[in-house]
Amino acid sequence: MRFNDSAVEVINYRKDGSEFWVEFSLVPVANKTGFYTHWIAVQRDVTERRRTEEVRLALEREKELSRLKTRFFSMASHEFRTPLSTALAAAQLLENSEVAWLDPDKRSRNLHRIQNSVKNMVQLLDDILIINRAEAGKLEFNPNWLDLKLLFQQFIEEIQLSVSDQYYFDFICSAQDTKALVDERLVRSILSNLLSNAIKYSPGGGQIKIALSLDSEQIIFEVTDQGIGISPEDQKQIFEPFHRGKNVRNITGTGLGLMVAKKCVDLHSGSILLKSAVDQGTTVTICLKRYNHLPRA
């Protein structure tokens, strides 16, 4: 059944059992004294109109899917090409230049370039896989007991080793008991995308604050940067695939990070909130359920 301002559309059935759509409206009829005496019903077969509308909607969905596929392949081609080119150039330099290989600083710098390029490609592949599985309803949720404080500390240490000294990570945990029932793989994906965005969109470096707190029912953690921020207009579309702020300029990115984070948050029955202002930084707040009715380890 479907309602509009002046009529109701319902499915009806012919004698042979086949369905057809009928639009009907009811009009009250009053006598001279103002009392309603009867109703007049007007109905008409709108099956063809409905079919036309369904075809139009299907075509629009197909066009949107085609547009997203085009954008995806364009994005993937660009985002894979950049780290591949960087890794290849660094490897060739180490192979062909004896100076680069024998100089500890140059060797270390080029090996880090290769490692970071591979990490970027792995992250992109992971993001694409998560989105694909989530859209197909096949993204698994496998919660286990985990010490979140320890996980956060280890993850931040890993990130710190892969970025320059111009970034400073300030981790604050206000809880004593930090065990929770979560999917470690999904939580790592959330953290990876939030911290990656904080670093990427803070080209001048600075402090990145990570705050973790837990109460009896939920987990709350925030990632705050001092980067370029996001305009109010762009925030309306920030969780859509491939959407990037107009102020990113030449900063590379896929526009998938926050969408991936949201997919992982949704599986935890949680929420994600973004607060940002241009040139003043961004804070992303994640709330997840702490327990999922399983016996505590």
Q: What is the pLDDT of residues 158-180, one digit of tens each?
A: 888 778 788 999 999 988 899 99
Contact 212, 225 (CB under 8 A): no
Q: Is 67-135 assigned to CATH 1.10.287?
A: yes
Distances (CA, A) of 104 to 86, 114, 121, 166, 252: 19, 15, 26, 22, 29
CATH superfamily ID and name for 2-45: PAS domain (3.30.450.20)
Q: How confident is the model at residue 295 (pLDDT cuts 50, 70, 90)?
A: very low
Q: How many CB atoms lie within 10 A of CB 138?
A: 8
| DSSP single-letter state for residue 243 | -
Instruction: CATH number for 144-289: choose from 1.10.510.10, 3.30.565.10, 1.10.3720.10, 3.40.50.10420.
Output: 3.30.565.10
| Residue % of the chain over a pLDDT of 70 | 90
Classify the C-alpha dihedral 78-80-83-87 as positive or negative. negative
Q: Where in the sequence of the chain do the CATH 1.10.287 domains occur?
A: 67-135
Give which of 123, 97, 124 is closest to 110, Cα–Cα: 97
CA distance 120 to 243: 19
Q: Where in the sequence of the chain do the CATH 3.30.565.10 domains occur?
A: 144-289
Q: How confident is the model at residue 74 (pLDDT cuts 50, 70, 90)?
A: low
| 199: its two tokens | 């670093």
Q: Which residue has the higher pLDDT, 60 or 215?
A: 215
Alpha helices in 136-183 (DSSP H): 148-162
Residue 248's Cα: distance from chain center in Å? 18
| 15-19, 98-102, 223-227, 234-238: range with highest mean pLDDT | 223-227
**Is it the case that residue 2 has pLDDT exceeding 70?**
no
Q: Where in the sequence of the chain do the CATH 3.30.450.20 domains occur?
A: 2-45
Q: What is the pLDDT of residue 194?
A: 94
Q: Which residue has the higher pLDDT, 202 or 132?
A: 202
**Is it the case that residue 192 has pLDDT exceeding 50?**
yes
Three-state DSSP class for 138?
coil
Give which of 285, 286, 264 is closest to 142, Cα–Cα: 264
**Is it the case that residue 146 has pLDDT exceeding 80?**
yes
Longest dimension (CA), the chain: 106
Polymer length of the chain: 297
Burial class of residue 246 in the structure, from the number of CB atoms within 10 Å of its CB (0-12 exposed, 13-18 middle, 19+ buried) = exposed
Q: What is the pLDDT of residues 230-256, one digit of tens each?
A: 999 888 888 877 777 788 877 776 778
User: Picking from 87-96, 123-132, 273-282, which range would have the lowest pLDDT averaged per residue?
Assistant: 123-132
The arithmetic mean of pLDDT across residues 123-132, rounded, is 79
Contacts of 235 (CB under 8 A, 6+ apart): 274, 276
Q: Which residue has the higher pLDDT, 213 or 67?
A: 213
The arithmetic mean of pLDDT across residues 266-272, rounded, is 92
| 145: its two tokens | 């007991």
The arithmetic mean of pLDDT across residues 21-37, rounded, is 82
State the chain's mean pLDDT as an integer. Answer: 83
